[in-house]
Amino acid sequence: MKNRARHIAIIMDGNGRWAEQQGKKRVKGHEAGAKVVKEITTYCSNNEDIQRLTLYAFSTENWKRPRLEVEFLMKLLEKYLKDELPSYLQNNVKFEPIGDTRAFSKSLQKTIKMVEEKTAHCDGLVQSLALNYGAQDEILRAVNSLKKSSNEITNEMLSNALDCKEDVDILIRTGGDTRLSNFLLWQAAYAELFFLEKLWPDFTSRDLEKIIKNFTKIERRFGGLK
């Protein structure tokens, strides 16, 4: 029986470098990257095997970037969510953020909550944006929430306490680096990893289609022999 790519996670790396290679400001790369997010989300929403698409949009470490770039990313995120709401509804996509969004402005928090609520009834693809997200932070918050339990913490208890409760089947990173960068460390324990040299603004649904095709041929043993 072939593998089904139910949960795809992507580290969308290379926006800034893409812009710099073209002699443009880094923010232009982020704008181009947002268009690719729309293309990939639409593709996944039309693939009945794919249930969840988790995209690494802003990490807990991204606050270290130049202030103006961070401010632009916040504005771009808010604009993206407002602009994409009709597309979410049209494609039956449920928006579900993960991460600690309390660090964002009240306006951005309000927009995130609004889109989440307005798409809550959608039962097609779940598009999950990782916002102010870091896997170590996620695990620490989950452990702290379970400290009051008098029972020994189990795998199932910890999984259910995480922001993202679904195991990853395919994890993709664009941009040439071959590391996970604090992304879904628990959920990606048995994910198949695909690292691409291509920068995120150049990534296409055809690239994703090729990866999924390769994934279906992989023998996934999960530590066993078969």
Q: What is the CATH number of the domain that holds 210?
A: 3.40.1180.10
Residue type, 75: K
Residue 46 annotated to the active site: no
Asked if residue 70 is part of any domain, the answer here is no
DSSP-assigned letters across all residues of 116-130: HHHTTT--S-EEEEE
What residue has token string 């150049």? 202
- The number of folded domains in the chain is 1
Asked if residue 32 is part of any domain, the answer here is yes
Taking phi first (over 0 means left), then psi (-120 to 50 degrees means alpha), and beta for anything else, what does residue 184 get? left
Provide the 8-state DSSP code for 1. Answer: -
Asked if residue 100 is part of any domain, the answer here is no
- pTM equals 0.93
Asked if residue 81 is part of any domain, the answer here is no
Asked if residue 201 is part of any domain, the answer here is yes
Which residue out of 3, 62, 91, 182 is catalytically annotated? 62
Q: Is 100:137 a contact under the CB 8 Å cutoff?
A: yes
**Mean pLDDT (the chain, rounded):** 94
Asked if residue 101 is part of any domain, the answer here is no
Residue 207 annotated to the active site: no
Query: How far is residue 182's CA from residue 132's CA, in Å, rounded to a whole number?
Result: 12
> What local confidence, expressed as pLDDT, does residue 221 receive?
63
From first to last of its 226 residues, the chain has per-residue pLDDT tens of 678 899 999 999 999 999 999 999 999 999 999 999 999 999 999 999 999 999 999 999 999 999 999 999 999 999 999 999 999 999 999 999 999 999 999 999 999 999 999 999 999 999 999 999 999 999 999 999 998 877 889 999 999 999 999 999 999 999 999 999 999 999 999 999 999 999 999 999 999 999 999 999 887 665 554 5
Asked if residue 85 is part of any domain, the answer here is no
Domain range for 189 is 7-65+130-216
